[in-house]
């Protein structure tokens, strides 16, 4: 099953050194979810060949411009392209007002419907389909800000169709799919592994937007497969990170290590860094399984490597 993240933009505050404002696309089994929509996101989408009509759900973390100023442009482009599919937008309070105000004053009546869901609190179930749930995660930023937890659902055991004896009824097949052993009509006991294979372990991707490093975060982060965490600064700028409610690379990496994350992607780089390699150098001292977000790159949410223990240097 596909479960991956494509980075469209990973810079903070202003465009710099070819890096753009925050936006990314999460692909879960060919369903696309746009996460944040900084200015220029639609151009980034065209460049990355993401078809606009595949976007039905947009998640906005907070109302700082570098995370949402591309949204109105995208909404109007959808309209001009004759979109008729409903659009679902999830964001903090006020975003619906901003959108309606712009539509009202331009006397625009869209060809399609927008459904707006306000993110009001932590741990709010925002979206669910047969593959995954998307849940809000409260950040610690200057204004209301939410990250998003993309959590795959537990799948059922897969039947080995070619091996199934005819002596099994519908009920036994359902039990097999739940991982149980069954007894057939002739009284023979079949162990589950003879007739079914276990499903993959569900994976979790967490998008942690602008935030001070999160202490006491819900256990949801524990063991998550892929964490995108902002690392606006390196430790030299510790006091600036604190003053602006951002994180340093060291803080993000320590957080990942503390929560036994499988892999960490750092982004939301400050425009002060032309070369972002110091951000990586700092992070890997604390958490070796760290990479830097690169625009246009796609990152698979990795399965957990069984029994692997991350060496934590904390």
Residues with catalytic roles:
66
Closest to 87 (Cα-Cα) out of 109, 121, 111, 58: 58
Residue 64 found at the interface with Zn ion (CB under 5 A): yes
Question: How far apart are CB 268 and Zn ion at their closest, in Å?
Answer: 6
What is the number of residues in the chain? Answer: 314
Which CB sits closer to Zn ion, 64 or 229? 64
Question: How far apart are CB 131 and Zn ion at their closest, in Å?
Answer: 29
Question: How far apart are CB 9 and Zn ion at their closest, in Å?
Answer: 10
Count of CB atoms situated within 10 Å of the CB of 125: 10
Residue 39 found at the interface with Zn ion (CB under 5 A): no
179's CB contacts (< 8 A; 6+ apart) are 157, 192, 196, 198
Binding segment for Zn ion among 169-177, 202-210, 279-287, 296-304 (CB under 5 A)? 202-210
- Chain-centre distance for alpha carbon 40: 20
Question: How far apart are CB 93 and Zn ion at their closest, in Å?
Answer: 16
Binding segment for Zn ion among 7-15, 79-87, 112-120, 295-303 (CB under 5 A)? 7-15
Binding segment for Zn ion among 40-48, 76-84, 203-211, 303-311 (CB under 5 A)? 203-211
Question: How far apart are CB 12 and Zn ion at their closest, in Å?
Answer: 5
| CA pair distance 112, 234, nearest whole angstrom | 44
Count of CB atoms situated within 10 Å of the CB of 4: 15
Pairing of strands 132-138, 3-9: unpaired
Which CB sits closer to Zn ion, 64 or 203? 64
Question: How far apart are CB 36 and Zn ion at their closest, in Å?
Answer: 8
Which CB sits closer to Zn ion, 64 or 263? 64
Burial class (CB in 10 A: 0-12, 13-18, 19+), 199: middle
Please select the residue that binds Zn ion; options are 7, 8, 9, 12, rule is CB under 5 A: 12
| CA pair distance 34, 100, nearest whole angstrom | 20
Binding segment for Zn ion among 41-49, 65-73, 120-128, 216-224 (CB under 5 A)? 65-73
Using CB under 5 A as the binding criterion, the count of chain residues that bind Zn ion stands at 4
> Tokens 């007002």 label which residue?
97
Please select the residue that binds Zn ion; options are 36, 39, 66, 262, rule is CB under 5 A: 66
Residue 203 found at the interface with Zn ion (CB under 5 A): no
Of residues 207-226, which lie at the interface with Zn ion (CB under 5 A)?
210
62's CB contacts (< 8 A; 6+ apart) are 68, 92, 139, 141, 143, 144, 145, 146, 209, 210
| CA pair distance 5, 131, nearest whole angstrom | 16
Phi, then psi, of 306 in degrees rounded to 5: -60, 140
Residues forming contacts to Zn ion in the complex (CB under 5 A) are 12, 64, 66, 210
């Amino acid at each position: 099953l596909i479960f991956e993240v494509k980075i469209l933009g990973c810079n903070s505050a202003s465009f710099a050194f070819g890096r753009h404002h925050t936006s990314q696309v999460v692909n879960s089994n060919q369903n696309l979810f746009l996460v944040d929509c900084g200015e220029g996101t639609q151009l980034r989408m065209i460049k990355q060949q993401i078809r606009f009509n595949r976007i039905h759900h947009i998640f906005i973390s907070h109302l700082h411009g570098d995370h949402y100023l591309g949204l109105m442009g995208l909404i109007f482009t959808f309209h001009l392209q004759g979109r008729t599919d409903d659009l679902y937008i999830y964001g903090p309070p006020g975003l619906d007002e901003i959108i309606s105000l712009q539509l009202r004053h331009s006397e625009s009546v869209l060809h399609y419907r927008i459904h707006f869901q306000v993110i009001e609190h932590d741990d709010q179930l925002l979206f669910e389909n047969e593959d995954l749930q998307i849940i809000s995660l409260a950040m610690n930023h200057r204004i209301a800000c939410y990250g998003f937890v993309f959590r795959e659902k537990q799948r059922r055991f897969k039947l080995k169709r070619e091996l199934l004896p005819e002596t099994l009824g519908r009920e036994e097949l359902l039990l097999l799919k739940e991982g149980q052993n069954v007894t057939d009509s002739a009284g023979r006991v079949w162990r589950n592994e003879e007739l079914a294979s276990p499903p993959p372990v569900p994976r979790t991707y967490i998008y942690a937007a602008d935030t001070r490093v999160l202490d006491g975060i819900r256990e949801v982060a524990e063991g998550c497969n892929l964490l995108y965490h902002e690392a606006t600064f390196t430790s030299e700028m510790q006091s600036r990170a604190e003053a602006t409610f951002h994180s340093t690379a060291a803080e993000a990496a320590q957080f990942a290590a503390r929560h036994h994350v499988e892999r960490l992607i750092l982004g939301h780089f400050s425009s002060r860094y032309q070369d972002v390699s110091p951000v990586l150098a700092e992070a890997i001292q604390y958490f070796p399984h760290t990479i830097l977000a690169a625009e246009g790159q796609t990152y698979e949410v990795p399965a957990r490597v069984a029994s692997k223990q991350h060496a934590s240097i904390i």
